[in-house]
């Protein structure tokens, strides 16, 4: 095998690996119906079930509810570009039910100040979030997805907004969910 042939085989192998890589930490197709066969999608209100450890920074219920609403809006914004948005679940309607399981602010929140009154406003954290989602039709599960996103303080991104990294995760997940539905 010539050097050129070896390079071509290696390039093809790398391309195959990168194109089949999962967008999420866990993806599981459980139904027999193709997700891409749906033309309508219902985005259920996003639930919140934070799995926090003792050492985690606190998150107020109000902040969690606001983030859940913003995640739902991000999902609707992305899905409506390629699908009809349904008002309710039903026959031939793909239902997306997401649950936020972790929220980590980039900047101090009111909950942080309540726990640590002397905390400096300039404090910066590697924020992030985690979620799970079930995609179904009339309650019959078709796919399950979960992912966790954590930024890095070394990502050279200015940490300005309180929930900046969480919002970045929402944007990425909304885009990736639409792609996942279209590819499956």
Hey, is 118 helix, strand or coil? coil
Q: pLDDT value at position 47?
A: 98
CA angle (154, 155, 157) in 5-degree steps = 115
**pLDDT reported for residue 32:** 82
Quote the pLDDT of residue 17: 40
pLDDT of residue 51: 80
Q: Are 145 and 135 in contact (CB under 8 A)?
A: yes
pLDDT at 14 (0 to 100) = 47
Q: Give the closest residue to 177 by CA, choosing from 50, 65, 83, 47.
A: 83
Summarised one tens digit per residue, pLDDT across range 58-69 is 899 999 999 999
What letter does residue 35 receive in the DSSP assignment? G
Q: How far apart are CA 45 and CA 40, in angstroms?
A: 16
pLDDT beneath 50: ranges in the chain: 5-20
Alpha-carbon span 17 to 26, nearest angstrom:
17
Task: Provide the whole-model pTM.
Answer: 0.84
What residues contact 97, with CB distance under 8 A and at least 6 apart?
Answer: 44, 47, 133, 134, 135, 136
Q: What is the pLDDT of residue 126?
A: 85
Q: In whole angstroms, give the CA distance from residue 23 to residue 19.
A: 10
Cα separation, 172 vs 122, whole angstroms: 26
Distance (Å, whole) CA 85 – CA 79: 7
What is the per-residue pLDDT for 92? 95
Task: Report CA torsion sign: 125, 58, 23, 88.
Answer: negative
Which pLDDT value is given to residue 15?
A: 44
Query: What CA–CA distances, in Å, run from 120 to 61, 112, 117, 175?
Result: 23, 10, 9, 35
pLDDT in tens, 135-154: 999 999 999 999 999 888 87
């Amino acid at each position: 095998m010539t050097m050129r042939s070896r390079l071509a085989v290696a390039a093809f192998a790398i391309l195959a690996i990168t194109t089949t890589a999962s967008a999420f930490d866990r993806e599981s197709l459980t139904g027999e119906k193709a997700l891409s066969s749906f033309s309508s999608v219902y985005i259920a209100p996003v639930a919140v079930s934070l799995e926090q450890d003792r050492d985690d920074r606190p998150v107020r219920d109000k902040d969690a509810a606001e983030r859940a609403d913003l995640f739902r809006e991000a999902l609707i914004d992305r899905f409506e570009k390629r699908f009809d948005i349904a008002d309710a679940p039903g026959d031939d309607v793909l239902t997306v039910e997401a649950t936020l399981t972790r929220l980590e602010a980039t900047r101090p929140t009111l909950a942080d100040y309540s726990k640590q009154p002397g905390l400096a406003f300039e404090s910066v954290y590697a924020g992030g979030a985690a979620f799970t989602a079930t995609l179904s039709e009339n309650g019959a599960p078709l796919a399950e997805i979960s992912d966790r996103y954590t930024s890095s303080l070394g990502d050279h991104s200015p940490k300005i907004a309180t929930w900046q990294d969480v919002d970045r995760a929402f944007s990425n997940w909304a885009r990736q969910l639409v792609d996942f539905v279209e590819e499956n």
